[in-house]
Amino acid sequence: MTRTERGARAAPSSDERDRDRDADRRAEQSETARPAARSAPAAPARGHDDRELAQTARPRSRTAPAAPARELGRRGRRWALPALGALLVAGALAAVCFGAAGIAPADAFASLAARLGIGTSPLGPVDDAIVNDLRLPRVLAACAVGAGLAVVGAVMQALVRNPLADPYLLGVSSGASVGAVLVLIAGLGVLLPVAAFAGALLALLATLGLAGAAGGATPTRTVLAGVVVASAAAALVSLVIFWGASGDAYREILAWLLGSLASITWPSALVALAGAALALPLLASGRLLDALALGDGAAGALGVDARRTRWVLLIACALVTGVLVSVSGAIGFVGLVVPHAVRLVVGASHALLLPASGLAGAIVLLLADTVARAAFDPRELPVGIITALIGAPVFAALMLTGRVRT
């Protein structure tokens, strides 16, 4: 091959140069197009940023109401006690007016004021006696018993850390039943409150004695001893009824065992009020119960003697229950259900839970007693039946919704 031929082959032709220029131009266009393609989503990227902003804004919009919601919850808890108090006063006035003999609220209020020396009563002697001597002491007793049982129930549930704890855990109710049954069979119904309280006190002493003999009256041994004493007392009550009860005595015993306020008079109402007054110191135990809820170790670090506190509060609860049961009989479900229901509204802090439970318990028992004496006229049901009919489904609903803390 000559040098001319090699030069001709090495030198590109004009067509090849044109193709090379076109290829270079397309390469340059593709290089410039790539950044454009990369930057082309810039406008959508703004949308992407908007979506990111929206995603970050959504949690903010969800969490923004948290502080107002907490503030609303605190306000609701703060208003719980005044609301329950107002409802209790309104319910008490309605209970005084409502019954077989209907009395206008204004007349009932004037009759009550007249007893205090304010004005004159517009009612006749019979209606005046119905308001002041029959309904008023019964209303006061219902409020006192309901409040006391609910407070004791809340304290007992905290002390033994058992959602099924109620005021009758230490056998006090069963002991009171023994005393009541004995005097009713003997025809000494006038001594019923005294005998019932004596039976409750003996049952408490038996519980503490058995717990001490078993190695020391610790809370666990005390509760177990209470179960033993309650079982023994219940068996004794059944034996006495089987051998000695008949006729009117049997009906009176049955009504008392079911829980009834039908025989309340002013003396027995004052006993119930005294029992509620004994429960007032329990309202001051909220801080101690909150400390115990953290565990015995944490309570000790906070300066609370867990063992001594539990023992003292158990004794106080038993005494309050004994006084109340001596008047009303064993009224169930008030001390069990009311604290759980109130806890849903006011929270777990015992400083607010205890007084709110007392007010709610008074309202519940007042309502139940009003229904028991007025809804089935001329017959009257024991109020314990009404509280069971109300309390059982309510407690079942709390269990099914997971509201009962175990």
Within a domain: 31: no
pLDDT digits (tens, 9 = 90+) for 279-293: 999 999 999 999 988
Within a domain: 350: yes
343: Cβ–Cβ under 8 A, 6 or more apart, which residues?
353, 405
Within a domain: 335: yes
pLDDT of residue 180: 87
Q: Model pTM?
A: 0.77
Evaluate whether 223 touches 211 at the Cβ level (below 8 Å). Answer: no
Within a domain: 83: no
pLDDT digits (tens, 9 = 90+) for 308-354: 898 899 889 988 998 999 899 889 899 999 999 999 999 889 999 99
Assign residue 264 the CATH number of its domain. Answer: 1.10.3470.10
24: pLDDT strictly greater than 70:
no
pLDDT digits (tens, 9 = 90+) for 244-262: 777 777 888 888 888 999 9
Within a domain: 100: yes
pLDDT of residue 70: 47
What are the tokens at 53?
Answer: 């902003």
The tally of CA atoms less than 13 A away on the side-chain side of residue 159 is 31
146: Cβ–Cβ under 8 A, 6 or more apart, which residues?
334, 361, 362, 363, 364, 365, 366
DSSP string covering 67-106: HHHHHHHHHHHHTHHHHHHHHHHHHHHHHHH-SSS---HH
Question: What is the Cα gyration radius of the chain?
Answer: 38
How many whole angstroms separate alpha carbon 276 and alpha carbon 290? 22
Within a domain: 5: no
pLDDT digits (tens, 9 = 90+) for 47-58: 444 444 344 444
364 lies in which domain range? 89-400
Within a domain: 311: yes
Within a domain: 224: yes
How many whole angstroms separate alpha carbon 344 and alpha carbon 357? 11
Tell me which H or E stretch contains 399.
helix 383-400
What are the tokens at 129?
Answer: 């006696």
Overall number of domains in the chain: 1
